[in-house]
Chain A
Amino acid sequence: MPTFKIPYESLDPLTIGSAEDDSKVYRDELELEIDDANLLAAIYPDEPEHLPDATAAAAAALEAPVDGPRFSELIAGGKSVAIVIDNQFRPTPQTKLLPAIFDALEAAGTTDAVVICANGKVFPMSESDIEQKLGRDNLDRMERLGIPFLQNDPRNAEAYDYVGVSSRGTPVWVHKEVMRRDVKITIGQAQSNHWGAGGGGKLIMPGVSADETIESNHCNLVPSPATHYGAYSGPMRSDIDEIASMAGLDATMNVVLDTRGRVIFINFGAHPVSHRQAIEHFNSIYAYESPVPEKGQADIAICGVFAPTDHLFFHTGWGCMSADFVLKDGGSIIYCSPSPGVHTEVGDFPGLALMDLMKPYMPATPENYQRVLKDIHARQIQMWAGCIWVPIYEVMTRKHLTMVTLEENLELAADIGMDATTSLDEAYAAALARHGADAKVIVLPFARYQLPENAIRMTPHSMHTPVGAHV
């Protein structure tokens, strides 16, 4: 009987998403024997070699844009520059990318620049987080060059400029310190995800947008069935890119990271073309040919997690939405995630922090999902957090989710009403008991990255407007 290795990785609670210290990355594996007769597919991505020098690659990308002007041309003539970077829960190695930007700014003689963290509505980074995220050398250099570091402050109305209303009805306020700069760029991780994709314009919205903008976009567009893994042309991602265009985002630097958090691709160029190219590259590695047309949907999906941001199930659990595509309704997701929690300057948060927001709506049923939708409409659910737990909850209304996790998470899981155990063998045996000895099993060891190719929607479909209704 073949044995499959399921990554069961996590980060030290004292470190952050872009940890460069491998001693703070816990790379455990679980093993599971699956009978050949049960195996529908086990999908392990074929990852390329990582780039040996991310800083050099970033410098080269700045001067070889995939579209639009070179960075040196963009900033020439004393233009002011806003550099928007991602936060502590994204693994982008800003320590290695920012030196290439600062070299260019120094060469151009730029005197007005700012680095601003796209933390959206997530709590700001602490001093320690900032040092880990940006690096001491970069912070010292910023001080020398007079480049301030700011973080988003979404409920401070004074901090935002009104930009307009997007075509999907999102009122847009973007941080003044970004808006007032001549040149605006983002540096982030390109990844397909359950909002369509991460990175690029997403660092503008929600990254440096006001509370009202974030909640309006998320409340309206997260629950849409057209917002899903790989839906680059879906309503959520399209609204994000439109808002970034409205804000005047010039260009994006995009990295694709492998499952060990190493840079395997980097590009730079005009928004949104360069980000789109990075997503296409990501999909060329991590999207897989769906076995469903030939073999049907699985009864059981076994999902693993990999380290780059794995403190909280809130961040590791996104693969529930990608596994959903290849799993029958009524099927079982077994999600292996240690989720050790995270230490912040305002206290320790357990591995299921923020997942507890679903507790008032448990058990996950179609009827209770209507309560969720009504409370989103009433703005009683904050969708900056709901944009993750609500999609997981929606999947749970149709599929049985069992979490395989650390013992310390079992009590909170039980309190929330989530099924959890410390044993993959036990979870698998229970799933086989539910679905029978002939159950079909799919293994998605890096579920948060993996998506079936037939879920990808890069090009908008034409709108089927009922023209006759207006005549």
Chain B
Amino acid sequence: MPTSEDIRGATTIVELLKLFPDGRAAQLMSRLAWPCAHCGGAFREPLTLAAKRHANDPRAVLVAFRALADGTLTDELVEEARRKVAA
């Protein structure tokens, strides 16, 4: 299983999906209202750039995915990552 150290801002969407073959990364993306797991356009986009493009806080998104890897993801972290921020 991946750990938080496996996930960096430069980790791409497709790499994230492969790190979680059970679909948990795809589920977290859908909780952020991102279609990235199915999107050919964003497939090779780094996580923090994807966050920026979706107007989410890149730091909060990175923290959420790292918490997912560590098994410490909470609803509060998801909400923080979901929050839209000014570009």
Q: Which residues of B contact A124 (CB under 8 A)?
A: 40, 43
Q: Which residues of B contact A123 (CB under 8 A)?
A: 37-40, 43
Q: How far is the CA of A282 from the CA of B30 in the complex (A)?
A: 35
User: Is A211's CB under 8 angstroms from B41's CB?
Assistant: yes
Q: Which residues of B contact A122 (CB under 8 A)?
A: 38-40
Complex partner residue of A153 from B20, B37, B38, B40, CB under 8 angstroms: B40
Nearest chain-B residue to A385 (Cβ)? B35
Is A23 an interface residue when CB atoms closer than 8 A count as contact? no
Q: How large is the interface on A (under 10, 10 to 19, 20 to 34, 35 or more residues)?
A: 20 to 34
Q: How far is the CA of A124 from the CA of B18 in the complex (A)?
A: 15
Q: Which residues of B contact A152 (CB under 8 A)?
A: 40
89-136 of chain A: CB within 8 A of chain B: 119-124
40-87 of chain B: CB within 8 A of chain A: 40-43, 45, 54-55, 84
A325-362 CB mask vs B (1 if < 8 Å, else 0) is 00000000000000000000111111001101101100
B9-50 CB mask vs A (1 if < 8 Å, else 0) is 000001001101111011000110101011111110100000
Is A254 an interface residue when CB atoms closer than 8 A count as contact? no
User: Is B21's CB under 8 angstroms from A347's CB?
Assistant: yes
Q: Which residues of B contact A304 (CB under 8 A)?
A: none
What number of B residues sit within 8 Å (CB to CB) of A? 24
Q: How far is the CB of B65 from the nearest CB of chain A, in Å?
A: 14
User: Is B22's CB under 8 angstroms from A348's CB?
Assistant: yes
| Interface of A, helix, strand, loop or mixed by DSSP | loop
Q: How far is the CB of A88 from the nearest CB of chain B, in Å?
A: 11
Q: Which residues of B contact A350 (CB under 8 A)?
A: 23
Is A382 an interface residue when CB atoms closer than 8 A count as contact? yes
Q: Which residues of A contact B54 (CB under 8 A)?
A: 380
Q: How far is the CB of A452 from the nearest CB of chain B, in Å?
A: 31
User: Is B35's CB under 8 angstroms from A354's CB?
Assistant: yes
Q: Which residues of B contact A119 (CB under 8 A)?
A: 40
Q: How far is the CB of B28 from the nearest CB of chain A, in Å?
A: 11
> Which of A122, A123, A345, A347 is most buried by chain B, counting CB atoms within 10 A of its CB?
A347
Q: Which residues of A contact B40 (CB under 8 A)?
A: 119-124, 151-154
Is A384 an interface residue when CB atoms closer than 8 A count as contact? yes
Question: B-side interface residues toward A, CB under 8 Å?
Answer: 14, 17-18, 20-23, 25-26, 30-31, 33, 35, 37-43, 45, 54-55, 84
Q: Other than the known A121-B39, A359-B30, what 6 A-B pairs have Cβ atoms closer than 8 Å? A: A152-B40, A155-B45, A347-B18, A353-B26, A356-B30, A380-B55
Show 28 A/B contacts (Cβ-Cβ < 8 Å), sorted by A: A120-B40, A123-B38, A124-B40, A151-B40, A152-B40, A153-B40, A154-B41, A155-B41, A345-B18, A346-B17, A346-B18, A346-B37, A347-B21, A347-B22, A347-B37, A349-B23, A349-B26, A349-B37, A350-B23, A354-B30, A354-B35, A354-B38, A357-B35, A359-B33, A380-B84, A384-B35, A384-B39, A384-B41
